[in-house]
Amino acid sequence: DVKVTQSSRYLVKRTGEKVFLECVQDMDHENMFWYRQDPGLGLRLIYFSYDVKMKEKGDIPEGYSVSREKKERFSLILESASTNQTSMYLCASSSDGLNQPQHFGDGTRLSIL
């Protein structure tokens, strides 16, 4: 089975801090994704990557950046955390091809104080 592992289930940080969220997948998937999930808004795509060192903006990239130095690892970076970035963050991966199923990690619930 595909396993997508997010480094933290819960994280508390302060406004202005630089925050790193890590995600690792073990199935050699080409595509990796970062979403945030908020009540009433569903999942919104922040960034995705279809290959090492490649990245594409999603629907809400402002305030975030990403890094993909190795195929199995995709990092989400909050450059200067703000309270409106308090959310559940979900990482996913999928194999290459048309609309392949995505495999999700269990999420990181991030609180910015």
Partner 1 sequence: SQQGEEDPQALSIQEGENATMNCSYKTSINNLQWYRQNSGRGLVHLILIRSNEREKHSGRLRVTLDTSKKSSSLLITASRAADTASYFCATGGYQKVTFGIGTKLQVIP
Binding positions for partner 1, rule: CB under 8 A = 4, 31, 33, 35, 40-43, 45, 48, 50, 56, 58-59, 90, 92, 94, 96, 98-99, 101-107
Instruction: Please say which residue, 107 or 112, places its beta carbon nearer to partner 1.
Output: 107
- Secondary structure element (H or E) that encloses residue 67, with its range: strand 64-70
DSSP three-state, residue 84: helix
Minimum distance, C-beta of residue 112 to partner 1, in the bound complex (Å): 19
Running DSSP on this structure, what letter comes out for residue 102? P
Instruction: Please say which residue, 19 or 29, places its beta carbon nearer to partner 1.
Output: 29
Asked if residues 33 and 91 have their Cβ atoms less than 8 Å apart, the reply is yes
Instruction: Please say which residue, 103 or 112, places its beta carbon nearer to partner 1.
Output: 103
CA distance 1 to 101: 13
Minimum distance, C-beta of residue 103 to partner 1, in the bound complex (Å): 7
Q: Which amino acid is at 24?
A: V
